[in-house]
Amino acid sequence: MAADGANCSQCGVEIPAGAPKGLCSRCLIKMDKPNDTKIEINGQSDTKSNISTKLNFFNHFGPPDPRELSGQFTDLEIISLIGSGSMGAVYQARQKWPLDRLVALKILLPEVAQDPTFAGRFEREAHSIAKLDHPNIIKIHTFGETRNGLFYFIMEFVRRDLRKVTKAAKLKPSEVYPIILQICNALQYAHQEGIVHRDIKPENILLRKDYRVKIADFGLAKLLGHSSAIPKLTETGRRMGTPDYMAPEQIINTHDVDQRADLYSLGVVFYEMLTHRLPPAEFQAPSEATSIDPRIDHVVQKMLERTVSARYQSADEVRDELEAILRGKTVIEKIDDHITRKPQHDSIDDRPRRLDSSGKLTQSVRKPSLSLHKSIQAGSIALVKAHIEYGSNLNVRKFFKLSPIETAARNNELEIVKLLYDNGAIVKDKDVFIQSILLGLPMLGRTTSLNSVTPAFLPEQIIEDYQAIRANLKLLGNNNIPRKLVITSPGMSEGKTTFSVNLATSMAESGLEVLLIDGDLRKPDIARLLNLPEGTRGLQDVLCGGKFKESVYYVKKTGLNVLAADFSVATDIYEMLTQPSTARIINAISKHYDHVIIDTPPVLGFPDTLIWSKISDHVIIVTYHGTTNNRDLKVTVKRLKEACANVLGIVISCVSKNWLYWNEPSSRQLKGYYTQIRDNDKVSRRKLMFSMEGSKAKSMVRDGLSPQNRN
């Protein structure tokens, strides 16, 4: 064994005490000796040939043909094999209707099924991995075991990994830094959740088209590393990982590694992205191979320290120091934002200047090395603040023709959205998505029309829209969808009635008892939309003392119960709603149903919604994309809160205004959701009719008739 202060006999680098055979970890893996050479690790000996065989054990895994797997995954259409590696094989697949989305199917090595303890450990570890919820970590949709004993994960699908991206084109340093910052964010989150990756490498770093990082295979190295069915590398455990990216302590003892092993692996990836080669045994500064800030050398070198205690101790430390460099500050300068900075240009008069805490002019503020859009893309609040301090244009459109605040909203960087807005970023008057973020309202979802999707996929897309909205309602309602929901909008023609019918239909078709109430007593929109028979009793009858069971209409095809409005009753509407008996009647009716959906008039038009909100549990605001303006949304939220209404969130309707509903004769009425379309300048009427249980969508279009305009 090597003594203290010894050097590797192969490459000459300094090695810690206890290094096996007097070699550094990299030379131990890569050494070229006869196959019968003995190697001692942690007191156990093995031959080089055995280590090589065991390291390459997974190369013998023959991934099943996609056709062989089809019978075991009936809800998936397995498209193709993406690749296989040390942990199994990954396939591109499509979840069948109604979800109809691309997913990645990961099959673990079949040998793990031979371990009697693996199934229980798989369930425990998989639950922990699936709970990871971070924008830079691949989302696990589901996991399990097939009837043939294959353990699998169904995950979010991202097409490209970092290896493929760097092979196609060399990344510039300005493109590398946002990727590293995003990885640091993901690692810090996972480490705080007690999960160490153990196999950070380019193949496990996936990139979307907008260069949003998604890290895959969190925790799988640990999961497979404990399986007794996989050949051992030593008596104390398996080296699960990729040798070129493994930390020295991970090679010596797999089980005694912590988050700092991931930081070492990230350092290798960082070095490789900058120089386009792996770091040599004797560290060479990346700035010698490429044009970068020499201060980056220190960050990379510290990440690659062989001694664990000399390395960064957390991903936050790496991110903070890298951000400080990109902001044009030293590590000490980042502590105090009010100190005087050295100018980076010949003249300070042509650079932005600001006042310090005492009101005096300071010297020039340095411009961050990373552009504003890329700083937002990296999720770096510190760099965005540096751009604001420097005086960067907060409204320039460069990244996919989006402004910085639109880029932040698209990447779900809520803090950055608010930061940019507070510092003068302009929000479009009708950008209700950003306005909802500024108002602190959750986005429940969007609805789809033929304006934004191919007609063949519209039925499935609408079903998926409402499934997602229901899932979000369940999350916001502490795992239960609120019992009584009021649906409203700021103004007219914003799709709230269509949304109310579709949401109620979606819930009814899932097996729930749902009552849809038309709370707009001024006009019977729901009765006409659902083509209820003439003379159907309405809500007014119930509020005036009639029996509600005689007034509720049951839609057999969807299982939806409807309490419509009867416009022929001339009772004063406001007086009727404000009667003390109204709340008692509605509360008594709601006990007979799982959920009650109440469609109400626009908040800015009538006071009805404010009255209904006092009877219900929560309110959902429906806005129309491109029509609802920010001022109307602000006033709507203000009025509802003044009435002590519990606003659950907003929905953005993408159905254009002034469309016409198509009413099918009752004899031909099928299960269905409603949408509206426009063909060029000609107004058409369409009702989409399809069942969540059916395999194909049916639609009927009729032109040339003259029904009345509906909201």
Active site residues: 199
**Contact present, 287 and 296 (Cβ < 8 Å):** yes
88-95 and 76-85 as β-strands: parallel, antiparallel, unpaired? antiparallel
| Number of other residues whose CB lies within 10 A of the CB of residue 254 | 23
Q: Which of 200, 214, 205, 201 is nearest to 257 (CA)?
A: 200
Phi, psi of 574 (to 5 degrees): -65, -40
Burial class of 303 by CB neighbour count within 10 A (0 to 12, 13 to 18, 19+): buried
Q: Which of 304, 299, 300, 275 is nearest to 288 (CA)?
A: 275
Q: Is 673 left (phi over 0), alpha (psi -120 to 50) or beta?
A: beta
Identify residue 382 by its one-letter amino acid code. Answer: A
Q: How far apart, in whole angstroms, are the C-alpha atoms of residue 477 and residue 648?
A: 9
Output b/e per residue, 174-188; b: 16+ Cβ within 10 A: ebbbbbbbbbbbbbb
Cα four-point dihedral sign 643, 648, 650, 653 = negative
443-447 and 618-624 as β-strands: parallel, antiparallel, unpaired? unpaired
Identify residue 313 by its one-letter amino acid code. Answer: Q
**What distance lies between CA 119 and its chain's CA centroid?**
29
Q: Which of 634, 266, 282 is nearest to 427 (CA)?
A: 634
Distances (CA, A) of 154 to 395, 458, 461: 40, 25, 20
The end-to-end CA distance of the chain, in Å, is 82
Distances (CA, A) of 656 to 451, 454, 495, 651, 675: 8, 16, 8, 14, 10
Distances (CA, A) of 309 to 16, 303, 331: 12, 11, 20
Quick check: helix, strand or coil at residue 87? coil
The 3 state secondary structure assigned to 622-689 is EEECCCCCHHHHHHHHHHHHHCCCCEEEEEEECCCCCCECCCCCHHHCCCECCCCCEECCEECEEEEE
| Number of other residues whose CB lies within 10 A of the CB of residue 440 | 10
**What distance lies between CA 413 and its chain's CA centroid?**
11
Spatial neighbors of 422 by CB under 8 A, at least 6 apart, are: none
Phi, psi of 604 (to 5 degrees): -80, -5
Cα four-point dihedral sign 411, 412, 414, 417 = positive
